[in-house]
Amino acid sequence: MKIKIALSLFSLLLAGFAAWGADGWKLVWSDEFNRDGPPDPSNWDYERGFVRNRELQWYQPENAYCSNGLLILEARREHKSNPDYDAASTGSPRRWKTSRQWINYTSASLTTRHLHEFKYGKVELRARINTQSGSWPSFWMHCADRPGVGWPARGEIDIMEYYAGQIRANMAYGMKEKPNGQPRPSPLPVWAATPGPMPSTFGRWNGMPPTLICWWMVNS
């Protein structure tokens, strides 16, 4: 028997980007999710499969949908086979994506990669996040693709992430070497706060790349 338990990680009202000009801020891109069904493919693409951090969830487009002016990202407990499973990789930590025979949790991760890229300006998100134990909702930016430059050297800005009981903002940058020669990030924690009853309220998060970094979090 297949069991599905849905947990809303994100309920998004607005995502947008504004540029600063002589007359102040000017909106250059936004999505208000006012069309029911899948997210607009001209704005959003999907990550798929097991992606990073040895996390338990399998990313798939089916867990993201628009309804009543909201973009909903759901985490679901469901059991199915891993299409990338390779028995030969069992026991290999570096091949964790293919060593798992089963998928036990699914979720969704959306990206604007290759669809919208901005250099200067302000990005804003209004969202309601779930703060139950085990969830890790986040809103973050990567540098556009640069040949020969990988993460973390090309940088990362976490405008918002809920992790281990706190809402946080971080930057990852630079390149340091582990003993085995693999790069690791130099994190810069910006702030962390313990949230109240966030699932019932919407917060507004803003970030300004790349030379002056500012964060705002306002419940609204």
Q: Which residues have a catalytic role annotated?
A: 156, 161
Q: Which residues contact 118 (CB under 8 A, 6 or more apart)?
A: 17, 19, 28, 29, 209
Q: State the Cα angle at 209 between 55 and 175, rounded to 5°.
A: 55
* Sequence-distant (≥ 6) Cβ neighbours of residue 181 within 8 angstroms: none
| Structure-block tokens of residue 220 | 């609204």
Q: Pick the closest to residue 144 from 157, 133, 131 (CA basis).
A: 157
- Does residue 131 contact residue 162 with C-beta atoms inside 8 Å? yes
